[in-house]
Homo-oligomer: A and B are copies of this chain.
Amino acid sequence: MDATEVITRPIGSVERLVRLAASDMAGVDSLIMGRMDSPVPVIPALAEHLIVAGGKRLRPLLTVAAARLARGQASTVANGLPEDGFLKLAAAVEFIHTATLLHDDVVDGSTLRRGKVAAHLIWGGASSVLVGDFLFARSFELMVETGSLRALNILAHASSVIAEGEVLQLTRAHDLALDQDTYLEIIKAKTAELFAAAAEAGAVVSGASEIDIQALRAYGLNLGLAFQLTDDALDYGGKTETLGKNAGDDFREGKATLPLLLAMARTGAAETAFWERTVGRLDQTDADFLRARDLILSTGALDASLDLAVDYAETAKAALAVFPNNDWRQALEALADFSVSRAA
């Protein structure tokens, strides 16, 4: 192993992918800004508030990376589909994601998103719901332009699965008896499915082989699980400034995420009354959050959640073995490492 090889080894970073995809993402951003426009001023204003605040654009980055990685392999580039189809698809993916964020924040009553005041607190819940609907519809208009019914189907299906996952989470939110499998089913549906679909659809519009399409879908799915598990852990281990949302939100909403579920199981009968009051009936003080956090740390529930996230990140990386070890693959590997290193 020489020095160059050490330097090019994947590091836990999203920056590597961001740099590699910079010119493609400039095209995606331009599509995003153009297509969220409307003669009704509230629409671009509200959409811009969330979209320009940015986040890392992880999902459209996945679409771009999958398309670029698959394109290097595909025998017939783009299959007669428009050359810029993957950029439109990436913009559509970001619109779907933004629409779900707008609706989630209304549903959850969240006050902070991407480090800014949640849109529904500025423009009202009604506007947030309707602008979400607008972006969702626009995403399908963009997808139609790619000419790929298969890509459309992948993202339409992902959208219905996301909604199912959100409803499942809503109905089981305060359920202290939620098991780990149901928790994983929820985060698979509400988060990992869109990561999977974003990568899969990107591969599809690049004319990728079935094996490559499924490899990229598997990468996205496992990355999404790693990402959400880490996110749920950060809600008990992170600071508000690095999260871009309020630490402790999940606890205050009584969301049964894995760190909480494991801690409840591990503390046993001694803490039953505490969990039933704070999570089951949402009868809480600020001190209760600190106590819950202590229990989650001291029982090893936080570490166990993060360990599981690392397992999924490794599975994501392994799925990329079908591709040559090029820049795009390495950038996706670095992204998988990044997804579980945000707590550091």
Task: Collect the chain B residues with CB atoms within 8 Å of residue A162's CB.
Answer: 133, 137
When A130-B107, A164-B38, A167-B134 are in contact, do A149 and B144 touch as well, CB less than 8 Å?
yes
Judged by a CB distance under 8 angstroms, whether A119 is at the interface is no
Judged by a CB distance under 8 angstroms, whether A70 is at the interface is no
Q: How far is the CA of A108 from the CA of B126 in the complex (A)?
A: 8
In the complex, are the beta carbons of B140 and A171 less than 8 A apart? no
Q: How far is the CA of A271 from the CA of B152 in the complex (A)?
A: 54
- The quantity of this chain's copies bound in the complex is 2
Judged by a CB distance under 8 angstroms, whether A272 is at the interface is no
When A103-B129, A130-B103, A133-B159 are in contact, do A140 and B152 touch as well, CB less than 8 Å?
yes
Cβ 8 A contact of A163, one of B106, B131, B170: B131
Which of A157-200 touch B at CB < 8 Å? 157, 159-160, 162-164, 166-168, 170-171
Q: How far is the CA of A129 from the CA of B40 in the complex (A)?
A: 22
Which of A108-144 touch B at CB < 8 Å? 108, 125-127, 129-134, 136-138, 140-141, 143-144
10 other A-B residue contacts (CB within 8 Å) besides A43-B167, A107-B129, A134-B160? A103-B129, A127-B171, A130-B170, A134-B163, A136-B159, A137-B160, A140-B140, A140-B156, A144-B149, A147-B149
Q: Which residues does A use to contact B, with CB under 8 Å? A: 38-43, 99-100, 103, 106-108, 125-127, 129-134, 136-138, 140-141, 143-144, 147, 149, 152-153, 156-157, 159-160, 162-164, 166-168, 170-171
